[in-house]
Structure formats: C-alpha cells, structure tokens
Structure 1
Amino acid sequence: MAELVFKRYGGSHQLKIQDAHDLGKIQTLNEALWAATSVPIDNLDCDRVFLSHVDMDKNGRIRTRELKEAQSWLYRMLAGRSHLSEGTDVLRLDDIDTSHVEGQELRKTAEFILNNLGVPQAKEISLQQVRDARSIIANAANNGDGVVPPEAVADADLAQFISSIMDTVGSTMDASNRPGVGKKELEDFFHTAETYLVWKEKGNVPAGKESTDVMPWGNDTPHLYQLVADLEEKIDQYFTQCAMVGFDERAAVQMQLRQKELEEIDFADPEVLRNRLMNAPLGKVDPEGMLDFTSAINTLYRERLLELRDKVFKRAIGEDVKQLTRQQWEKVKTIFAPYRAYVESKQGGAVEKLGDDSLRKYLQGQYRERVNELIDKDRSVADELSQILTAEKLILYQRWLLELANNFVSFANLYDPGIRALFEAGTLVIDGREIMFTMKVQDVQAHKIRSEKSYMCLLYLEVTGRQDREIAFNIVAPVTSSNIGELRVGKRGIFFSTDGCEWDAEVKDIVVNPISIWESVTAPCRQVSDFLKAQVDKLSKVREEKIQTTMAVPTTSGAARDLLLGGGIAIAALGSAFAYIIKALSQVKLSHVLGVLLGIIVIVILPGMIAGFVKIRRRDMSILLEASGWAINVRMRLSIALGRLFTHIPGLPKRARKEKRDSIGKFLKQFGYSSTFSRSFFIVVSIIVIVFLIFQLFMMR
C-alpha cells in the first residue's frame, strides 16, 4: 500500500494531493479523514458540465462515493496521467488508454473530430475543439436525439403535420434547444386522433335515419341539449325550492329579500343587480311544484327559458306547455340522458381543432411512416454524439478532478494565497482593507443563524452590477484581522469576483464578534462607554429642553441678581473642591497608586485578555461552510496568523514615499489661520508640563 502523507493545513492534518499518484489514494482513505464528505455543487465555481458528470445521482450534491467513482473512471480511461497536476483542458491522444474497447472508440472519435477540423495530424485535442464538434452536430438536422423539429423538414406538408402534432399533444426540445416531435409525441398523436374519430362516429346520424340511441332528435340533438344543460341546474334548484315550501311555507319568507338587504342594494349598479337576480329563484316558488310560464319569471333567465319551452318542452311533451311539472322536467332529462353520457365520454379532444378531414388524412396517409424514418435517421448519429460527450467528459475530468479533490478531500487550495478555492467568491475591498475569503450565500438569514457560532465577525453584503442584465447576489465576508473600524450596515465597498469582474457591494447585516484580542478585552469597556454616552445624551437633551423652557419665561431683575449670586457661589464651590482634590492627591503615595493600578490590571484586564485569547482561538471557518450546506469533518480553526492571511491592510507600494507634513496647514495660512502644527505642539507641551508637575508633587510627599 502506498504511503499516505498528511500535511498540516490551518491547524488540521489533511491528505496531501499534488499529483495523480496522490489522487489515487482517495480510494483507500477512510471517509472520516476527508475534509468534507458532502458538497453542494452550487457552492463550487467551476465548469457546470463537469459537476453534472460527477453528481451522478443528480441530487445537487457530490458525496465521497461519487468522487471515488469519478477517479476510477478517469484512471480507467487515461493511461498517461502526468498532466493531471497541470489542470489543462488539452488532452494528448497518446494518454488515452486503448487497451479496452471504450478507449479505442474514444481515440477514434478524437481523431474523427480533428480530421473534420482540418488537423488530422494533431496529437492533442482541446475542450473547445470537442465542444465545437458537439455544437455542430447538435445544430444539424440529424443530431442523435431522436427529435425532429418542423424547420428541419424540407417537405412543407410533412413539416405542417409535425407542427400539428406539437400544437395538439405537445413537443420535446432537441439537442439544439428547438421544439420538435419524437416517437412518444408521434404515437400519442395517432392514438388520440383514432380515439377521437371513434367517439365522433358514435354521434353521427346515418343517412336515411332520423335518430339514433345517442341522437334521439337527430342532428338537432346537440343544440337542443345545450339549451337543457344551460338551465338544468337552475330548474333543478327551482323544483327543490318548491318542495321545501310545500313542506314548510315559512321557507318562502326566507327566500325573499329582507328590508335591510333591499336597502343595501345599489340599484344604479347593473353588476350588483345581475348578481342578485342570478341567485334569486327562477320564478315565484309554488308549493304545488309547478313552473308557471304565464306568471313572473326571473328576467335574467326568461328569454332562455321561453326558448327552451318552445323548442324542447313542447316537442318532448307533445303540446303547448303553460306550466311545467317536475315529472315533465325529469322526462325531458331522460330523453337527453344518452346524449349526455356520450358528451361526458368524449376522448381525444386535443386534436378536435384540426378537423375531421385533416385527421382522416393523417391517419390514412404515410405520415406516420415518414416521420418515423426521420426519427430513426436522426438517432443513427446518437452513438457518434455519445462518444463526443465522453471525450468532453474525459477532458473535463483531467482539468478539474484533482482541483476538486483539493477542495473536498482536503482544503489545500484554501490556504494557498496563489490559488483560489472553488468555494471562494472573490475579494472584497472595504474600509481600507482586503478581505480575501468570501462565499456566496443563498439565504442570508438562515446562514446567519448557523454562522453565529463561528465566533467570527461576519459581513453580509449585497453585490450588484450589470453585464448583459441586472445581477444581484449575496456574499458573506469574515473579517479576520485588524479591528471593526468603520464597518457598519450601509458601508459600501467594491467586490472583485474570481472571474475578474468588478461589482458594487453594500453591507446589509453584521454578525459582531471580536476581531482581535484587544477588541475582546475592551469589549466590556466599550459597552459601558456606549451606555454612559447614551445616558449623557439623554440627560443633555432633558437639560436642554429645561433651559429652553426657562429662557422662554421673562425674568425680573431680582431673578437676574439671584442668578449672579448663585453663579458666584458655584464657582467658589468648584474652586474649593479642586483645592481639596489637589490636597488629597498630595497625601497619596506613588507606590499606592501604582499598586492600585496593578491590582486593576490583574483583576479586570488580565482575565479579559485570557477570555479574549480563548474566544479568538475558538474562531472556526468550517461553520461558514456548514451553514452553506457542506458536511465537514475537520475543524478549520482560525489562528491569528491565518486571520492576517485572509484579511489584511495592504502597505504602500515599493519605492513609495510618505510626506509627513499635512498640506492643509499651507492652505489654512492662505486664509489667515494659524498652523495646525503649532496648535498641536502647544497642546502636547501643556500635557507634558501638567504630568511633570503632578509627578513632582508625589515626589515631595
């Protein structure tokens, strides 16, 4: 068994995979020693066709078994593997393993492509050449998919037949993304057409006959049945209402509009009136169960009801009908029952719009045979296209499989500044720093909930820009060194994606955690400071409002005198207090002060430093991947050194020079202002003098 070498990456030991020899070791590596065991493919920035090949079960994820099977297939098809570490998309023909039939066929296909491209002597074939050949075949009339688009057929009549199939039973997209018909659509069409014509024949009245079982009133049956069907529900409702009133006369009152309902009706709105009439009874409800055509009839149905009376009821009953009973109505429905069953059993309606004559023409002609021939001819190049796809797959595996392993079995690429990991989105430049590690995020809120346990300061940004269309996506960027600075919601920066495009970026959310040990130590102090500032602002606002209220009230001379006296007393009190403080400080020994300061450091600051160090050491980048759907084995602890690798403030370029003097002072002098330097110098000197005097005071004691 070959020796397995584990290299230390970011605090954890992971399999070293640098060449084909190392890649072969993943077959014997226990899955528990893999950096990850399951990866969502939408997190990987590489060729999508390659990912679709490795994702064999098409569930949107790559698991350990799938990567192992991909490696096995690659090594079976590739005898020369020295170029795997180069990540090249150019395949040497001599590297193909021709010791088996698959390899021999693949070599023939590669030579066939090169011959068609006019370079028969070439010893290499590129991914672009293979894809060009595939594109040519896909856009040809015969592209191996067994789908025939109408525009690929020269015969106009046959092309129209194919269009009729697509318009009635549907279509399938071919390899060139054009709609057409295949075997399924062809057979579905003929089955549907035959079924429809058989059904339609049952409704025909033979010559010499006036009626059939299905057509009791001959060719008038469809029209007259429609009259019955349109009012059937309303007439049934009427006779039911009559039965209810016959059982209990109080029901008639409930069917009438109440006074309040009448008052609420907007008689100027036709739509409101129509809805009321639609829900009202057909006529005056009769306890005897009679529909009287001579009495008031609901005007919304009156015209259709009278037509039904004259054309159907009179013919069914055999005399003029002034009143319709429920028994007579049931007789009418019984007459049309066979035709109703016929209508409800209708099949093949999808092809009805083509017309009976066209359907018979298609069924009786050679259309089925001719389209089948075109489909078979198209499928004849399927093997050729399949071999081209296999050649594409082999080149993609040669280009990407080793790199995928270094982003799956181990995370070597993540810790190499010269290589981008496949799950990195790009570089964020914001607040004077470069954040090298970023990831795309689909659901910001869900990702944030899980990633809060990473103990990292995280920025969630919306990235926007325009290429051929408006594009917007979200990224997460961990701030791993320096300090929080001016980073806040709404802060803007610029984002460089791995493909070299430049985008606008805006902070939309922040997960706040200490970035450095110093920030962790000073966090409680900042919280207290923020609290005190808030309280001071609150008190200042109250005092300001009180002063404004006081100033708004006119004062007397006595009040002014009292104010002056009070001010003098206050100044005297402040002077006395200051003198007392100076006297008290002069009695304190310097050693006592230093001891107290040292005690404060030991009791407060030292535990904070220890806690801050522990919290910084707990930062874990693997949580970010897990929040994006990865299954991670290794803990990706973020050390201080790694933090500087992923987030840094760039220094000035080589041979650059800083000018210390601020040019603002020169411009201020032009307007007659004193130099900012002299003022700053005076402040510094004053502070030094005060400190010196205090020190002398302690020494005197």
Structure 2
Amino acid sequence: MATSHVWKFFRIGGLDQVAIESGADLVALKDLDQKLWVALSCPVKGLELDEKTLALIDTDKDGRIRVPELLAAIDWAALHLEDLGVLLRRKDALPLAAFKASTPEGKSALIAAKRILSNFGQPEATEITLAQASDTARIFSSTPFNGDGVITPDSTTDEALKLLVADIVGTIGGTTDRSGASGIDESRVATFYADLTAFAAWSEKGASADVLALGADTSAALTAIQAVRTKVDDYFSRTRLAAYDARALAALNRSETEYLALAAQDLSITTQEVAGFPLARIAADQPLPLLAAVNPAWAAALVTLHATAVTPVFGSAKTSLTEADWTALKAKVAAFEAWAGSKGGGSVEKLGLERVKALLAADQKAALLALIAQDKALDPEFVAITSVEKLLRFSRDFRALLNNFVNFFEFFSPDHYANFQAGTLYLDTRSTEFCIKVAAPSPLAAMSKAFIAYVDCKRAGEAPIKVAACFTNGDSDYLFVGRNGVFYDRQGRDWDASITSIADNPISIRQAFLSPYKKFVRMIEEQVAKRAAAADAESNAKLATAAETAANADKKAAGPKPEPKKMDIGTVAAMGVAVGAIGGALGAIATGLAKLTFWQLPLVFIGLIAVISGPSMLIAWLKLRQRNIGPILEANGWAINGRVKINIPFGTKLTERAVLPNGSKRDLNDPYSDKEAIRRQKLIWTLIVVAILAASVIRWDEQKNGHYFWQPAPKPVVVVAPITPVVEA
C-alpha cells in the first residue's frame, strides 16, 4: 500500500521487522501492509502483560486481540492525546499537558484527570499516575453521586430517606457503589415497593375469619397437623384396606420377624427403628387413638395434635379420631394453609406490618428515583475518568504489546522478556529463557524444529502450571522424562519442575558431530552387555550341569569317558580365512597410508571424520536453519505471520550453559579422579602421536632414499651406450 510515511526496518531473527519509535509511526500503522506484521492476533490470557489492559483492547470480548482492535485502540488514543509518542514511554504516568484539549474527548479526560488529582489533595499536580486513576473508591468517596446509578444512605441528608435506603439494603439486598459502599438502584427500589404492597395485601387477607378458623390457635393447629399428616393418612389408608380384605391384616401390620430384630437391640422410647411402623395397630375401620397404644416414635406429636388441634375443634374429651374426624380437622385449617402458602413480599416481613404500612403511606419512591436519576447524570464524568485510567494503562503497556505483536523486538532484546516468555527453567546444568505456558503438548509445536521439554511446575499454595521449555544449546543426552529442575516465573518465584514429555529435535551442531560416536559407543556397550549376559547364562548352565552330575554320580554306571569333541577342520579354515582377510585389509590400509606424504595423513583423518559425522551434522544443520518460534506460539493461540527464526547464536543466548564466573580460581586436582585411567589415556595418546610421527619420518625417508630403511638399497643401473655398426664403403 502506498504511503508517504517513511518506515524504518531492522533485520533480526532472519526477518525484516518494522521499528515503532514515534507517534507518527503509530498513526501510520494502519497503512502498513499487514504482511509485514510479525503477528496478526494473540490471546488475552496467558501473557506476562496486565490482562485488564488487554481486555480494554479486546472490544468484542472474544479473548483475542486482532489487528483491527489494535488499530482501533490507536485511533481512540489519538482523540485524547496530543502526541501518541507518549504511549511508547512505558511509564504509568501522564503529564496533563499530554491531553488533547482541542477535542471533546480529550477535554473531558483532562477535566477528569484534574478532578482525580483534586480528590487526592493534589490540585496543583502536573502529572497523574495509574494508581490514582484506578483508585475509584477513593475518587468517589468524597462525593454523594458518582454516575453509576447507585445511591447509598450518604447520598442524601434527609434522615427519612437515609433510613429508607438502609431498610431496602437490609431486606432486598444492596449493590456495590463505585465508592465501595453498599447501595440501591432502580430495580431494587421497584422490587422493594412491590414487596411492600404484596405483603400488606397478604397480611390484610390473613386477618379474615375464614382464614383464622381457630382464631389465634390456627397457626399452631396447622403446624401440629402438618407434623403427622403423612402418617395419619397412611394409617386410615391401611384401615380401609383391612376392611376391604381381612387377609391383608398380617401384611398391613409389621411382621413378628421385624419385632424380633428390634428386640435384639437396645431400644429407647424415641428410637427411629419404629418410626416407619404404623401409628397404631391396624384393624378394619379402627379409629386412631391419640393418647394411648400408639407408636412410641410418634407419641409426642400425637399429644401435641390433640392439644392444639383436636381440643379446639372437638373438645379435650376427644381422644381418638375417625377418618371423618380427620378430614374435618384438616378442612378447618385448609384456608389458613392456603393463605400461608401464598405469602407475598416475604422479603419485607422482617420490617413488621406497622413499618410496612407506614412506608406505603409515606410513598417516598419518587424521591428515591429522583436521587438515582441525579446520580446517573454524572455518568459521562465517570466515563471520562475511565478514559484517563485506560490512557494510563496504554502509556505503561502499549509499547510492550506492540513489540510483541507488530514486531518481536522484545523477544530478541537482551534487556526485555517477550510477553509470552513465562520465566526461566534451570535443568541439566543449563538455563533456558524460552519457556511458554501451555495447556498441553501439541503436535503443531513440534513443527518448530526445536527441542521442546514439556514441564509440569508445582508450588505450594498455587495452581499447577505446564510450561513448554525449548532447549537451544548443548545436547539432549540427559534430557528425558522424569528429570527434575527448578522453574523461576517472571515474579522470581521458584516452582518444582519435572519433565513429562519431549518433542525431540536436534539442539546443536556439536551434538550432531558427536552423535555417531556416541551411538557407536552405546552399540559396543550393548553388545558387550549382551555377550556378558550370554556368557553368564552359559556359565550358570555349566555350573548347573556340573552340580547335577556330581549329585547323581552314584547313579551312573562306570564306563569309559567320552572323548573330547574335536574342533571341526572347516571351522579352523574359516577362522584362518577371516584372520587373513582382516590382516589383508589392515595391511592394505597401512600400505595406502604409507604411500602418503606426512602432510596428507591429517587430511585422511579429517576426511574419515567428515564421512562419519558429516551426514548427521548436515541433517542437524538443515533442521536448525528451519527452527522458528511460530508453531510453538500458534499452538498456544497466536496467529504468527512472520517466520521468526532461532539461529545458532540466538539459540546460544536463549539457553545458556554453566560457565565459571570471570576471575574464578580453579583447582584441577581431583582427589577422587581415576589416576590409573588417566595414566593409561596419556600413554595411549603418546603412543598414537609417536606412531604418527614415526610413520611420517619413515615415509619422508622412503621418499628421500627411494626405499624403506629395512629394504636393501637398489643397485645402481649402468647405462651402456648402444654400439653403432660399421658400414663398409
């Protein structure tokens, strides 16, 4: 896209990345081709950046920040600030002169900033901080109205209204005001007065004679009836069934077996074991006794029923109930029960009926709504205060976001961590700074061609986290599942770390160079171990055979000893051929080497090393050239646009090996070193060097004299001139 703005790019990580150094760069960012952006989206959560700042940019609240949202944030800030360059300072403070007073948005934000400073007792200050702008409780603590549509008892000087607001909070419940106090809003006022009206109407209906059939005793009678209703209904159902068929009596009453089981226990009069038994013995159309011959578990409840319900209706002489009596008794309290179940406005019942009637008569609902409307009128001022906080958050965090989104400057900077770097892992005498919080291992991350160790981190009092740690220096010989280390997060807190899985890729050229030799040594070790195991098994078998022979010597008949098995002549011939072939090969190698000049011998060894290590080094080099961080971040929710590579020098910085401090003194005299092995190594290397020197001298002597010193000198060749025949004339 054509643009008059002159951009500056820097080459880092194998990628041309745009530099954002001024407010003009921010304004022109919308014209920069998005193909030149390193990232096109990033997650809100999981980054080492204030989530509240990121949430302010994430306008659609989808948990991701995209390019349009970032550009919209810049446009919004341009309406409030004179120079967008202040957003690149990484400071949590703004001078008042930075606000753009020429726009309505900037002017409102400037007024709000001055009011905040005034509330903090600093009306003459020329700079405002994020801590001041974000302390809304203190900002609005000195004013009765704050624009949130919530009023508190302190929002008015009218004592009656103060008490009314307190009553609403105490019954309906309150909502938190911007000042931090508990208050009420329109919905709570409406609910409160609706409950007042409903409770008053319900209370008036409950005073009628139809509802209070037993007068003041109606409530107690209902409670007593409800306590035994299920068991009494069960009793009369059983008596009706017994009247229908006498054969059912044995089943309707509990069996003797159940009573025998109870008799074996320590019984108490209130035992729950008999609570499920009928209230009394079942007989056809048998009335229910109330005071005698009843189930002990229900005796007290039936006495209460008799006193509070039966006596007011039938008199105290009534000590049993027929089913008709029971039906009539329930009918007496049915109206009261229906009324009690239809209670309205129960939330205000605690105020008492007199207070409810007084509040309805005073009718101060309109006064409350007027106070709420007065408070709401200040909402634009609060929006301006919110804008001030947002600008201050941008001033502190916006550059860090840009340098991890438009470019990846902070990832490559020696002075800053990228916002996706979670901390540093120490393990296997190395530390790696390229650690990213992840939910789980991802196949996509392995496409980065980096060696990734997935590490579970635990710390007392904290939820466990999983980290993907990339090792970009050293080797992987001692990096395996189960190894433990220590992870330090960005706050410097230490976590116990353990490797749980690995995405294996080459770490360095050095590792690739040594890899064939290490594999060869491992193969030798494995073969030696197999041979040793086989020899041990063979030895054990022979010992077992010998022991068995000795134990059964008396059972075997004496006889001639078997002749020892003779070696097969073919085997001897084969061994001779093999030895000859090996000797011939070694002789051919020695002869070939002997024909070389002394300066050619090192080239032979270098070529041999290249043949052995070259393929693995080439493969590692190709993979290391492709190593980049894109797939790792994309597995964690990013959309990476550029190929941000991790070359060998940068990988050495990300993963550092243990190095002694400068000026350290080192004592190489190890008291526990294997001195005999060291002497053997020195002797072997000395012999190798002497052999090479001797071969070089012998070869030089052969070239000089024309024969090796152990060969006889060749006889000089006499050249005889040919005889010219004489031709006679």
Both structures adopt the same fold (TM-score exceeding 0.5): yes
Equivalent residue, structure 2, for 1:513: 504
- Kindly tell me: are residues 55 and 298 of structure 1, through their superposed partners in 2, closer, same or farther at Cα, counting changes over 3 Å? same
Q: CA deviation at 1:393?
A: 1.6
Q: CA deviation at 1:214?
A: 1.4
Q: Secondary structure at the match of 1:77?
A: coil
Equivalent residue, structure 2, for 1:426: 423
Q: Whole-Å Cα distance in 1 between the matches of residues 637 and 550 of structure 2?
A: 76
Q: Whole-Å Cα distance in 1 between the matches of residues 477 and 447 of structure 2?
A: 22
Q: Whole-Å Cα distance in 1 between the matches of residues 298 and 535 of structure 2?
A: 75
Q: Whole-Å Cα distance in 2 between the matches of residues 169 and 677 of structure 1?
A: 87
- Kindly tell me: are residues 639 and 218 of structure 1, through their superposed partners in 2, closer, same or farther at Cα, counting changes over 3 Å? same
Letter in 1 for 2:139: I
Query: Which 10-residue stretch deviates more, 139-148 or 151-160?
Result: 151-160
Deviations 1:178-226 (A, max 9, x none): 4344444344334323322321222225xxxxxx111112221111111
Q: Whole-Å Cα distance in 2 between the matches of residues 314 and 125 of structure 1?
A: 79
Q: Is the 8 A contact 1:463 1:503 kept in 2?
A: no
Deviations 1:83-140 (A, max 9, x none): 34333444344443333222222233334555666776665444345446x4532443
Q: Whole-Å Cα distance in 1 between the matches of residues 40 and 256 of structure 2?
A: 75
Letter in 2 for 1:104: K
* Structure 1 segment 210-249 matched on structure 2, within 5 A: 212-245=209-242
* Structure 1 segment 243-322 matched on structure 2, within 5 A: 243-245=240-242, 252-255=249-252, 267-268=264-265, 274-288=271-285, 291=288, 296-309=293-306, 311-313=308-310, 316=313
- Kindly tell me: are residues 557 and 76 of structure 1, through their superposed partners in 2, closer, same or farther at Cα, counting changes over 3 Å? same
Query: Which 10-residue stretch deviates more, 377-386 or 625-634?
Result: 377-386
Q: Secondary structure at the match of 1:213?
A: coil
Q: Whole-Å Cα distance in 1 between the matches of residues 246 and 634 of structure 2?
A: 73
1:353 to 350, 355, 380: 350
Q: Whole-Å Cα distance in 1 between the matches of residues 286 and 397 of structure 2?
A: 84
Deviations 1:590-623 (A, max 9, x none): 557999x999999997766665555555655333
Letter in 2 for 1:203: G
Q: Is the 8 A contact 2:120 2:139 kept in 1?
A: no
Q: Secondary structure at the match of 1:429?
A: strand
Q: Whole-Å Cα distance in 2 between the matches of residues 178 and 319 of structure 1?
A: 58
Q: Secondary structure at the match of 1:91?
A: strand
Q: Whole-Å Cα distance in 1 between the matches of residues 612 and 350 of structure 2?
A: 88
- Kindly tell me: are residues 120 and 307 of structure 1, through their superposed partners in 2, closer, same or farther at Cα, counting changes over 3 Å? closer
1:475 to 461, 467, 470: 467
Equivalent residue, structure 2, for 1:623: 631
Q: CA deviation at 1:342?
A: 0.5
Q: Secondary structure at the match of 1:62?
A: strand
Normalized against structure 2, the TM-score is what?
Answer: 0.73
Tell me which structure has the larger Cα radius of gyration. Answer: 2
Q: Is the 8 A contact 2:220 2:308 kept in 1?
A: no
Q: CA deviation at 1:57?
A: 3.6
Q: Is the 8 A contact 2:116 2:139 kept in 1?
A: no
Letter in 2 for 1:213: D
Q: Whole-Å Cα distance in 2 between the matches of residues 440 and 163 of structure 1?
A: 48
Letter in 2 for 1:643: G
Q: Whole-Å Cα distance in 2 between the matches of residues 471 and 644 of structure 1?
A: 32
1:588 pairs with 2:585 = yes
Letter in 2 for 1:47: D
Q: Whole-Å Cα distance in 2 between the matches of residues 281 and 542 of structure 1?
A: 82
1:204 pairs with 2:207 = yes
Equivalent residue, structure 2, for 1:140: 142
Q: Whole-Å Cα distance in 2 between the matches of residues 379 and 104 of structure 1?
A: 21
Query: Which 10-residue stretch deviates more, 219-228 or 533-542?
Result: 533-542
- Kindly tell me: are residues 614 and 590 of structure 1, through their superposed partners in 2, closer, same or farther at Cα, counting changes over 3 Å? farther
Q: Is the 8 A contact 1:227 1:304 kept in 2?
A: yes
- Kindly tell me: are residues 269 and 587 of structure 1, through their superposed partners in 2, closer, same or farther at Cα, counting changes over 3 Å? farther
Equivalent residue, structure 1, for 2:600: none
Q: Is the 8 A contact 1:143 1:385 kept in 2?
A: no
Q: Is the 8 A contact 2:214 2:332 kept in 1?
A: no
Query: Which 10-residue stretch deviates more, 455-464 or 404-413?
Result: 455-464
Q: Secondary structure at the match of 1:459?
A: strand
Q: Whole-Å Cα distance in 2 between the matches of residues 526 and 221 of structure 1?
A: 99
Q: Secondary structure at the match of 2:431?
A: strand
RMSD: 5.4
Q: CA deviation at 1:548?
A: 14
Q: Secondary structure at the match of 1:420?
A: coil
- Kindly tell me: are residues 686 and 215 of structure 1, through their superposed partners in 2, closer, same or farther at Cα, counting changes over 3 Å? farther
Equivalent residue, structure 1, for 2:452: 458
Q: Whole-Å Cα distance in 2 between the matches of residues 317 and 204 of structure 1?
A: 23
Q: Whole-Å Cα distance in 2 between the matches of residues 588 and 676 of structure 1?
A: 31
Q: Whole-Å Cα distance in 2 between the matches of residues 162 and 269 of structure 1?
A: 59
* Structure 1 segment 20-169 matched on structure 2, within 5 A: 20-28=23-31, 34-113=37-116, 124-131=127-134, 134=136, 136-140=138-142, 142=144, 144=146, 145-148=148-151, 162-169=165-172
Q: CA deviation at 1:513?
A: 0.4
Structure 2: where are the runs of 5+ without partners? 554-563, 566-571, 594-604, 699-707, 711-729
1:648 pairs with 2:659 = no
Q: Is the 8 A contact 1:242 1:288 kept in 2?
A: yes
Q: Whole-Å Cα distance in 1 between the matches of residues 577 and 297 of structure 2?
A: 103
Letter in 2 for 1:101: P
Q: Is the 8 A contact 2:140 2:179 kept in 1?
A: yes
Q: Is the 8 A contact 2:224 2:308 kept in 1?
A: no
Q: Whole-Å Cα distance in 1 between the matches of residues 365 and 382 of structure 2?
A: 26
1:486 pairs with 2:475 = no
Q: Is the 8 A contact 2:88 2:399 kept in 1?
A: yes
Q: Whole-Å Cα distance in 2 between the matches of residues 217 and 391 of structure 1?
A: 68
Q: Whole-Å Cα distance in 1 between the matches of residues 542 and 141 of structure 2?
A: 82
Structure 1: where are the runs of 5+ without partners? 206-211, 560-567, 570-574
Deviations 1:616-672 (A, max 9, x none): 556553333233333444454544454334223265555x4675x61225x99xxxx
Q: Secondary structure at the match of 1:664?
A: coil
- Kindly tell me: are residues 318 and 97 of structure 1, through their superposed partners in 2, closer, same or farther at Cα, counting changes over 3 Å? same
Q: CA deviation at 1:73?
A: 0.5
Deviations 1:497-541 (A, max 9, x none): 445x24244224231402336657949949985994897599499
Deviations 1:389-410 (A, max 9, x none): 2222223224433432332344
* Structure 1 segment 378-417 matched on structure 2, within 5 A: 382-417=379-414
Equivalent residue, structure 1, for 2:701: none
Q: Is the 8 A contact 1:246 1:288 kept in 2?
A: yes
Q: Whole-Å Cα distance in 2 between the matches of residues 681 and 195 of structure 1?
A: 103
Normalized against structure 1, the TM-score is what?
Answer: 0.76
Q: Whole-Å Cα distance in 2 between the matches of residues 258 and 608 of structure 1?
A: 88
Q: Is the 8 A contact 2:451 2:470 kept in 1?
A: yes
Q: CA deviation at 1:424?
A: 1.7
Query: Which 10-residue stretch deviates more, 330-339 or 288-297?
Result: 288-297
Equivalent residue, structure 2, for 1:572: none
Tell me the percent identity: 26
- Kindly tell me: are residues 177 and 505 of structure 1, through their superposed partners in 2, closer, same or farther at Cα, counting changes over 3 Å? farther
Q: CA deviation at 1:364?
A: 5.0
1:663 to 669, 686, 696: 669
Q: Whole-Å Cα distance in 1 between the matches of residues 158 and 539 of structure 2?
A: 91
Letter in 2 for 1:626: E
Q: Whole-Å Cα distance in 2 between the matches of residues 272 and 425 of structure 1?
A: 68
1:438 pairs with 2:430 = no
Q: Whole-Å Cα distance in 1 between the matches of residues 661 and 613 of structure 2?
A: 38
Q: Is the 8 A contact 2:150 2:177 kept in 1?
A: yes
Q: Whole-Å Cα distance in 2 between the matches of residues 579 and 623 of structure 1?
A: 59
Q: Whole-Å Cα distance in 1 between the matches of residues 254 and 178 of structure 2?
A: 65
